[in-house]
Amino acid sequence: MKVKAAILSSPTTPFKIEVVDLEPPRKGEVLVKMMAAGVCHSDWHLVTGDTPHPMPVVAGHEGSGVVESIGEGVTGLAIGDHVCLNWAPSCGTCFYCIRGQNSLCSAYVGPIWAGTMQDGSTRLSLNGTPIYHFSSLACFAERAVVPAVCCIPMRESIPYGVSALIGCAATTGIGAVLNTAQIAARSTVAVLGAGGVGLSVVMGAKHAGASQIIAVDKTEAKLRTARDFGATNGVLSDADITEEIRFLTEGRGVDYAFEAVGLPYLQELALAIIRPGGTAVLAGISPVGSATNLPGAILTRQEKTVKGCYYGSSVPARDFPLYADLYQSGALPLDRLISKTYRLEEINEAYEDMIEGRTARGILDLS
Ligand SMILES: [Zn+2]
Ligand SMILES: [Zn+2]
Distance CA 328, CA 126 (A): 41
CATH number for domain 2-153+333-365, candidates 3.20.20.70, 3.90.180.10, 3.30.300.30, 3.30.56.10:
3.90.180.10
Distance CA 136, CA 91 (A): 14
- pLDDT of 58 > 90? The answer is yes
* Residue 204 backbone class (left: φ over 0; alpha: ψ -120 to 50; beta: rest): alpha
Could you tell me the residue ranges of all domains in the chain? 2-153+333-365, 173-310
Residues, Cβ < 5 Å to ion ligand 1: 90-91, 94, 97, 105, 107
Residues with a catalytic annotation lie at: 40, 42, 45, 61, 168
Cα(62) to ligand 2 centroid in Å equals 6
Q: How many CA atoms lie within 13 A of 285 on its CB side?
A: 18
The pLDDT of residue 109: 87
Cα(364) to ligand 2 centroid in Å equals 13
State the pTM of this model. Answer: 0.95
Ligand nearest to the CA of 94: 1
Q: Write out the H or E segment, with its range, that includes residue 267.
A: helix 264-273
pLDDT digits (tens, 9 = 90+) for 195-251: 999 999 999 999 999 999 999 999 999 999 999 999 999 999 999 999 999 999 999
Cα(297) to ligand 2 centroid in Å equals 34
Interhelix angle for 347-355 vs 41-48, to 10°?
A: 100
Distance CA 117, CA 137 (A): 9
Ligand nearest to the CA of 315: 1
**Averaged pLDDT of the chain:** 96
Evaluate the CA torsion angle 344, 349, 354, 358 in order and state its sign: negative
Distance CA 321, CA 323 (A): 6
Distance CA 169, CA 312 (A): 9
pLDDT digits (tens, 9 = 90+) for 100-139: 999 999 888 888 999 999 999 999 999 999 999 999 999 9
Cα(71) to ligand 1 centroid in Å equals 22
Q: Regarding the domain delimited by 173-310, which CATH topology (the fold level of the hierarchy) does it fall under?
A: Rossmann fold (3.40.50)
Ligand nearest to the CA of 93: 1
How far apart are the two ends of the chain, measured CA to CA in Å?
A: 17
Distance CA 96, CA 107 (A): 10
Structural contact between residues 307 and 257, judged by C-beta atoms closer than 8 angstroms: no
Cα(276) to ligand 2 centroid in Å equals 32
Ligand nearest to the CA of 312: 2
Phi (first) and psi of residue 295, to 5 degrees? -65, 115
Cα(179) to ligand 2 centroid in Å equals 18
Sheet holding 212-217, edge to edge: 233-236, 212-217, 188-192, 254-259, 274-282, 305-308
User: Please, which pLDDT band fits residue 54 given cuts at 50, 70 and 90?
Assistant: very high
Span 303-319, average pLDDT: 96
Distance CA 29, CA 118 (A): 9
